[in-house]
Structure 1
């Protein structure tokens, strides 16, 4: 565990960033999104947060990620790397589709995953 964070902390970061990103595009058309740099930046930043937290989970809790292989850990990390390192080549169509389709699906997966993480954290702390 790095920085004293628990598994559930990273999952909370992922969930909050997914909720925030979806909230930023809620009610927007694709054209509105493509013409709104502020919203683009906000969504991209939340995708980076999701990917960074997913990377921490993969690095620190690899068995957990194998147990929860239904969660696209690697895709989250890869998207983060693409956003952070290929910044000038970001495909806004992909960002839009991610916020509209992929993040809501992720949000549906997270409650059960977080429950398992809470149990793991309790067991790891001896409680």
Structure 2
């Protein structure tokens, strides 16, 4: 059996979401829109989240299907739009994502943590 990387991917998502939220802590939208460094830091965090979500969808499809409350496709889609349409990034969408979607994602990640570790189990319920 191959190594279970699911907890790692979820950790990457959690760290990147936490980072993005901390980067904008104490900033208003106008401050964010005028701070290129913070924009770049948040955008990079969104790319990391999207990459990890893609890995989960591709390598752990059953897990992703078991958690439809998580916007897996949206995270992958945002990553693709950022990576392939870099000069057309809508900073209003980035701001709204870090203000609303990422705090919700952090709650969801905490709630499904135990399920990720269950991926290590065989059909008989025993660890490999």
- Shared fold, TM over 0.5: yes
Gaps of 5+ in 1: none
Q: 2: distance between equivalents of 1:65 and 1:5?
A: 14
Cα distance, 1:126 vs structure 2: 3.0
Normalised to the residue count of structure 1, the TM-score between the two structures is 0.93
Q: 1: distance between equivalents of 2:84 and 2:113?
A: 29
Q: Which has the higher helix share?
A: 1
Cα distance, 1:118 vs structure 2: 1.1
SS at match of 2:94: helix
Corresponding residue for 1:26?
A: 25
* RMSD of equivalent CA atoms: 1.7
Cα distance, 1:102 vs structure 2: 0.7
Structure with larger Rg: 2
Over 6 Å off, 4+ runs:
none
Normalised to the residue count of structure 2, the TM-score between the two structures is 0.92
Gaps of 5+ in 2: none
Cα distance, 1:36 vs structure 2: 0.2
Do the aligned residues in 1 keep the contact of 2:4 with 2:119 (CA within 8 Å)? no
